[in-house]
Amino acid sequence: MAVTISQVHGREIFDSRGNPTVEVDVRLSDGGFGRAGVPSGKSTGENEAVELRDGGSRLGGKGVLKAVGNVNGEINEHLQGVSPFNQAEIDHQLIELDGTPNKGRLGANAILGTSMAVARAAADSLHEPLYRYLGGVDLELPQTFHNVINGGEHADNDIDIQEFMITPIERKSFRDGFEKIVNVYHQLQANFEKEGLSTGLGDEGGFAPNLPSDEAAIQELVKAIKDAGYEPRKEIGIAFDAAASSFAQKDGTYLFEGKKRSVAEMTAYYEDLLKKYPAIVSIEDPFGENDWDNFSKFTQKNKDRVQIVTDDNVCTNPKLIRKAIKAGLATSFLIKLNQIGTVSETMEAIRLARKNNCTVMVSHRSGETTDDFIADFSVAMHAEQLKAGAPARGERLAKYNELLRIEEELGDQAKIAYFPDNVDLD
């Protein structure tokens, strides 16, 4: 007897910022079960799929009971009796049922929660781990990027750049690399305590001290890496997400560190950082989401010196990724499931980037749940990179701990990704 979906049930839960979000359970006719929690971003691009919120006075208007109602009503009724084993068809039906270009009617949070939970239920029915169900035999553990100093929209401090990250370059295994990151993270905390700086945490588990400048954050990272006994760039690299859309102005300038700066001044600022701090291996969103021309020029000039990642400009949307590839916008694409709203569309975005010799970085959101879907997903998709926050806070550690389990399960077959060859690390 064919296995089918017997029930799709949604509920309102709360994310790591204490805001409501959607959780979906999918039950199959053979007892297979899948559950998925949907993350929520704070620094969001204007091209992202619509996260349906209730509005009104309850929970500051952020309730998701409308989206939950759509799961328990239309989505549940539509998917009952449908086979769970064709992910692309499931997602296509959800998109057609919604009927809008941005998933705004049913809500991308309702659709994504269902899409992820169906994948989990199908894997459970087949008694396979999720990474194996989605990825088959071509599996790889990603290089991880850890936001250890939070700024911008992710922290209440004076730093404009949103994320300062560290990444393990030289490592024998996933665990070896992660242990190095943990050592640097604890060293950074010890250094901040000695300097009398706050060790309070931002949204993604990184420290959020007030520093005299954004450059000072990079100096602190270089010091912590060395103090922990590692060589910057060779063993531990530094990356940052400027999230420049958050300080881009309507007149084309950028309000950065208290003063308006031209595109030329911002370009000179970034290039000066690259010269002074060779440990920097990756830059994300150095210009605003509508500033395609200057973003492309920066990439073409600096792509051999540093990985350049785009997020807000493309929002995991295959149509926008095609445009970005044609424009030479970046060398790597950030991938967020809830930006596009289904598992199969996210997979399409990854395949498109790969076909055009670009890397991908699967990403969490600042408002997370303890759902570890993206850990399995990054391994299944052979994603070169993953960023999921600092090695702190349960919703961030859930992803890293799952990767440790996966490495253990794969044993001698466990492969780990290394930094892309197009950036010279020597």
Residues marked as catalytic: 204, 336
Tokens for 67?
A: 């989206």
CA-nearest of 192, 359, 380, 172 to 282 is 359
Question: What is the phi/psi pair of residue 282, to 5°?
Answer: -155, 135
Q: Which residue has the tokens 């705004």?
A: 104
Q: Is the alpha carbon torsion for 333, 100, 16, 8 positive or negative?
A: negative
| 115 known member of a binding site | no
Tokens for 242?
A: 């400027």
Q: What is the distance between the alpha carbons of residues 218 and 378, in angstroms, rounded to a whole number? A: 28
Separation of CA 148 from chain center: 15
| 163 known member of a binding site | yes
Query: Over the range 125-152, which residues count as b (16 or more CB within 10 Å of their CB) and which as e?
Result: beeebbbbbbbeeebbbbbbbbbbbbbb
Query: Over the range 373-383, which residues count as b (16 or more CB within 10 Å of their CB) and which as e?
Result: bbbbbbbbbbb
| 46 known member of a binding site | no
Residue by residue, DSSP assigns 59-127 as GGGT--HHHHHHIIIIIHHHHTT--SS-HHHHHHHHHHHH-STTSTTT-HHHHHHHHHHHHHHHHHHTT
| 363 known member of a binding site | yes
| 284 known member of a binding site | yes
CB 397 within 8 A of CB 389: no
| 154 known member of a binding site | yes
* H or E element in which residue 11 lies: strand 5-14
| 241 known member of a binding site | yes
| 336 known member of a binding site | yes
| 365 known member of a binding site | yes
| 194 known member of a binding site | no
Tokens for 309?
A: 């990642």
8-state DSSP, 245: G
CA-nearest of 302, 309, 243, 242 to 274 is 302
E-assigned strand segments in 337-381: 359-363
Q: What is the distance between the alpha carbons of residues 335 and 244, in angstroms, rounded to a whole number? A: 18
Show binding-site residues for (2R)-2-phosphoglycerate. 162, 336, 365-366, 387
Enumerate the known binding-site residues.
154, 162-163, 241, 284, 311, 336, 363-366, 387
